[in-house]
Structure 1
Amino acid sequence: MIKNLNKTIATIGMASLLFACQEKQEVKEPQAIGPTPSKEQLAWHDMEMNAFIHFTTNTFTGKEWGYGDESPEIFNPTDLDVDQWMETLQKAGFKGVILTAKHHDGFALFPSDYTEHDIANSPYKDGKGDLVKEVAESARAHGLKFGIYLSPWDRNREDYGEASYVEYYRNQLKEVFTNYGDIFEMWFDGANGGDGYYGGANEERRIDKQNYYDWPTTLAMVEEMQPAVLFFSDAGPDLRWVGNEDGVGGTTNWNTIT
């Protein structure tokens, strides 16, 4: 028993000596195994809570998704206070806010040079309003980062499904990313194509989701304007929610999509 105890003490002593000898040596960090986040992704993760604001024609029709035939005149908030929104979010601990600048109905919350289906043709502030500008400026004034959601699907546009619409979508992205300061996140989802107003056609249109928008070209264009932006979508390339829309992660959450 005493012999074994002495051997154990000697082993511990040798291990301590070895540790002491190696303590001042520079040890290289091990190579990462599998996917690793970028600095920008880690910074986004550390934000913990970002708010999503969806306030558009649907607010006045009670629909989740507008059909695209809504008149701009329906958008007429009379007691809107975006500072109250931002103050509430800031006090609740949110670090960023993402505004739906255009949802599937195609109504733009900013005055766009490329469509009549926008806030400039609404009664809001006698057609002089710009809700994207209001929210962006108020968010920053309250210490919140600002992001946008500009829906790729547009149930109002007559040319949706044609090449000219992709050009239109990119033109609106240029408007947003050059007129409203730093944008930390561009959000878009997988709802693309289906029934819609489409300028009065009232029909269903399907697109090739893999190729229609030519996403590599579109995202490269946005990144050139704002290199720090992060892209959130079904396929990334930067961000995606945990598991599903309910916030439930899969058992292999690092690789749920092939």
Structure 2
Amino acid sequence: MADPAPRRGIPLRALIPNAVTVLALCFGLTGVRFAIGGEWEKAVGAILLAGVLDGIDGRIARLLKGTSRFGAELDSLSDVTAFGVAPALVLYLWALQHLPGRLGWVLALSHAIACALRLARFNAQIDAADQPHKKAGFLTGIPAPVGAGLTLAPLYVHFWLAPLEDTALRASVVAVTAPLVAFLMVSSLPSYSWGSLRLRPSWRLPALAGIGLFAGALFTNPWATLSLLTIAYTASLPLAVRAYARVKARVAAARLGSGAGDGIQPRA
């Protein structure tokens, strides 16, 4: 009896991570819709939810063995929309439109352009072998979702503390933070990734307890928690630069000692 013909078509499991990516794109654009209506908390919440979905779509793809080049390209297009275009429009409508002339629009564009350039660099290097930061477990610059979260930080403070009713002050604050975050996205500075972090076994239970407390704080007082998280991440950037320099120096010393090998290897 002849073997049955192989089944053609795309397995359903391959569509699930792509569907999550599309949902992230939809939530990012929905944030713009809320911003147009002046519903600022919903606007920020929608973009943050897009960041959560973006963080799990790749893991779902690997879990279901549904990774593909199509998914990678779709993810980048979703990221530039949800974390580049959407935050830029939200910030423009909330604050930057009050700057004189067209300066506010230029600053809003700087965020969107920086996000697009970062993602283009990532796609161009996705198959490159010579990526010292990646080999050491670090990222080059800050990721697009993190960039969106940092550039929206003035809104967290606005929701948490006294509202920034003064439109001139609001615009001035965003005029400083938005270009700075845009620079961090396109910069070559190393930043922490999950692969660069190591936890001692004795810290496992305290870390789990900390995660539980963080989740409780996030649901109880989200804007205060996000404001403090933004400060903590910003403070970690110089620490990441120092940690990468140590890894680089350790690898250079090992190479001199062995007289062989090239490139930075991940930490044990």
TM-score normalised by structure 1 residue count: 0.25
Give the structure with the larger helix fraction: 2
More RCO (CA 8 Å, sep 6+):
2
Give the structure with the larger strand fraction: 1
TM-score normalised by structure 2 residue count: 0.24
* Larger Cα-atom Rg: 1
